[in-house]
Amino acid sequence: MPANAIDQPDDWTTPGAHAVAPGIHRIPLPLPIAGLSTVNAYVLEGPDGLVLIDPGWASPANEHAVTAALAELGHRLGDVRTCLATHHHWDHYTQAFAWREPLGVRLLIGENERFSIDGFDTTNPFPNHPELLARCGADELAERVLAIDMSGAETPYGPPDGWLRDGDRIPLAAGELEAIATPGHTRGHVVYAHSPAGVLFAGDHVLPRITPSLGFEVAPEPTPLRSYISSLKLLLGRPDQVLLPAHGAVGPSTHARVRELLDHHRERLDEVNELLVAGATTAYEVARRLPWTRHRRQLDALQLEHQLSAVMEIEAHLDVLAHLGRVTLEETPAARRYNAA
pLDDT digit string, tens, across residues 254-304: 999 999 999 999 999 999 999 999 999 999 999 999 999 888 999 999 999
Examine residue 129 and state whether it is found in any structural domain, yes or no: no
Tell whether the model's pLDDT for residue 54 goes beyond 70.
yes
Q: How many separate domains does the chain show?
A: 2
**Are the beta carbons of 292 and 306 closer than 8 angstroms?**
yes
Q: Which ranges constitute the DSSP H helices of the chain?
A: 60-72, 90-103, 114-118, 129-135, 139-146, 224-236, 254-277, 283-289, 304-323
**Confidence band, pLDDT 50/70/90 cuts, at residue 7:** confident
The DSSP letter of residue 297 is: B
Based on the fold, state whether residues 66 and 168 are members of the same structural domain. yes
Q: What is the CATH number of the domain that holds 338?
A: 1.10.10.10
252, 271, 293 - which closes a domain: 252
**Confidence band, pLDDT 50/70/90 cuts, at residue 191:** very high
What pTM was computed for the model? 0.94
Examine residue 293 and state whether it is found in any structural domain, yes or no: yes
The pLDDT mean for the chain works out to 95
Which pLDDT score is estimated for 1? 41
Based on the fold, state whether residues 188 and 62 are members of the same structural domain. yes
Based on the fold, state whether residues 305 and 340 are members of the same structural domain. yes
Tell whether the model's pLDDT for residue 24 goes beyond 80.
yes
Based on the fold, state whether residues 201 and 247 are members of the same structural domain. yes
Based on the fold, state whether residues 214 and 309 are members of the same structural domain. no
Tell whether the model's pLDDT for residue 2 goes beyond 90.
no
Separation between Cα atoms, residue 336 and residue 314, nearest integer Å: 12
Examine residue 300 and state whether it is found in any structural domain, yes or no: yes
198, 232, 252 - which closes a domain: 252
Based on the fold, state whether residues 50 and 166 are members of the same structural domain. yes
Based on the fold, state whether residues 29 and 42 are members of the same structural domain. yes
Domain encompassing residue 222? 1-120+157-252
**Confidence band, pLDDT 50/70/90 cuts, at residue 126:** confident
Which pLDDT score is estimated for 274? 98
Based on the fold, state whether residues 199 and 277 are members of the same structural domain. no
Range with the lowest mean pLDDT among 4-13, 258-267, 302-311? 4-13
User: How many Cβ atoms are within 10 Å of 211's Cβ, its own excluded?
Assistant: 16
Q: What is the pLDDT of residues 224-241, one digit of tens each?
A: 999 999 999 999 999 999
**Are the beta carbons of 41 and 66 closer than 8 angstroms?**
yes
Between helix 254-277 and helix 304-323 the angle, nearest 10°, is 80
Examine residue 327 and state whether it is found in any structural domain, yes or no: yes
Q: What are phi and psi of 131, to 5 degrees?
A: -65, -40
Q: What is the CATH number of the domain that holds 13?
A: 3.60.15.10
Based on the fold, state whether residues 210 and 269 are members of the same structural domain. no
Closest to 172 measured CA to CA, from 4, 21, 329? 21
Examine residue 131 and state whether it is found in any structural domain, yes or no: no
Which pLDDT score is estimated for 4? 47
Which pLDDT score is estimated for 125? 81
Examine residue 187 and state whether it is found in any structural domain, yes or no: yes
**Confidence band, pLDDT 50/70/90 cuts, at residue 5:** low
Based on the fold, state whether residues 228 and 266 are members of the same structural domain. no
Examine residue 136 and state whether it is found in any structural domain, yes or no: no
Examine residue 247 and state whether it is found in any structural domain, yes or no: yes
Based on the fold, state whether residues 37 and 1 are members of the same structural domain. yes
252, 275, 308 - which closes a domain: 252
Based on the fold, state whether residues 286 and 314 are members of the same structural domain. yes
For the chain, the first-to-last Cα distance in angstroms comes to 45
